């Protein structure tokens, strides 16, 4: 029961932060969810598939928690709680640091800033890293083959979004400033 409560709290805080930011920006007239919108070709495929993958991951997490699936010892499951909690913290900090420049997906019509301060001094993609940490945390708490496969699929799609969509977009929008940032901060974690 402790693991179920911890996992539910992690999911509520994580997706609650996401939803609160979406609602907050909507009140300001900002369309936060840009995944697949006004896109064509490969970029549209990546963004739509990413959206599907993240919904599937959330559903698989909820079902796994409800079914109390797990084959790991308590120590591994406790590590999952801590990893998931770190994911929440990283996500909240990244969303707050991005302020109104935060989007799910890219938008060539919205004017945003290149954020390189705060948590973005240590990771170019902390929100994506946070998703992966939450996926890993829940997976360690409630491991099953379906959750594993869907979590891996979602993590791969997040990575493909970064390398095939986000990085190209940021290069196009910010040019040399982004190249300099890219040279000094790792994609997921660490400075060069």
Three-state SS across 123-183? CCCHHHHHHHHHHHHHHHHCCCHHHHHHHHHHHHHHHHHHHHHHHHHHHHHHCHHHHHHHH
In a domain, 40, yes or no: yes
Residue 175 CB burial class (10 angstroms; 0-12, 13-18, ≥19): exposed
Mean pLDDT of 153-175: 93
**pLDDT score at 105:** 67
**pLDDT score at 38:** 80
Could you give the percent of the chain with pLDDT greater than 70?
98
Mean pLDDT of 137-156: 97
pLDDT band of residue 113 (cuts 50, 70, 90) is confident
| Residue range of the domain that includes 172 | 2-104+111-184
Flag whether pLDDT at 25 surpasses 70. yes
Which tops the pLDDT comparison, 25 or 135? 135
Number of domains making up the chain = 1
Structure-token match 């040279």, residue found: 183
In a domain, 190, yes or no: no
Flag whether pLDDT at 71 surpasses 80. yes
**pLDDT score at 37:** 79
Could you tell me what percentage of the chain is helix, strand and coil, using 3-state DSSP and rounding each to the nearest 5?
75, 0, 25
User: Are the C-beta atoms of residues 137 and 10 closer than 8 Å to each other?
Assistant: yes
In a domain, 192, yes or no: no
Q: Which residues contact 166 (CB under 8 A, 6 or more apart)?
A: 106, 125
Provide the CATH number for the domain around residue 165: 1.20.120.1630
**pLDDT score at 29:** 83
**pLDDT score at 49:** 95
Give the whole-angstrom CA distance, residue 34 versus residue 84: 26
Give the whole-angstrom CA distance, residue 22 versus residue 27: 9
Question: b/e for 10-30, b at 16 or more Cβ within 10 A?
Answer: bbebbeebbeebbeebeeeeb
In a domain, 53, yes or no: yes
In a domain, 129, yes or no: yes
In a domain, 191, yes or no: no
In a domain, 189, yes or no: no
In a domain, 37, yes or no: yes
Q: What is the mean pLDDT of the chain?
A: 91
Question: What is the pTM assigned to this prediction?
Answer: 0.91
């Amino acid at each position: 029961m402790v693991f179920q409560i911890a996992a539910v709290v992690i999911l509520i805080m994580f997706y609650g932060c996401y939803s609160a930011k979406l609602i907050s920006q909507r009140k300001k007239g900002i369309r936060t969810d840009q995944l697949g919108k006004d896109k064509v070709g490969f970029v549209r495929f990546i963004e739509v598939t990413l959206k599907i993958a993240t919904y599937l991951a959330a559903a698989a997490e909820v079902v796994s928690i409800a079914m109390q699936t797990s084959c790991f010892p308590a120590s591994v499951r406790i590590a999952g709680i801590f990893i998931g909690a770190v994911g929440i913290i990283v996500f909240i900090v990244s969303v707050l640091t991005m302020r109104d420049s935060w989007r799910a997906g890219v938008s060539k019509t919205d004017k945003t800033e290149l954020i390189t301060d705060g948590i973005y001094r240590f990771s170019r993609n902390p929100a994506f890293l946070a998703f992966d940490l939450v996926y890993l945390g829940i997976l360690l708490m409630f491991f099953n083959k379906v959750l594993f496969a869907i979590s891996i699929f979602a993590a791969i799609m997040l990575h493909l979004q970064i390398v095939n969509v986000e990085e190209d977009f940021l290069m196009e929008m910010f040019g040399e400033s982004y190249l300099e940032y890219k040279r000094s901060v790792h994609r997921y974690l660490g400075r060069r």
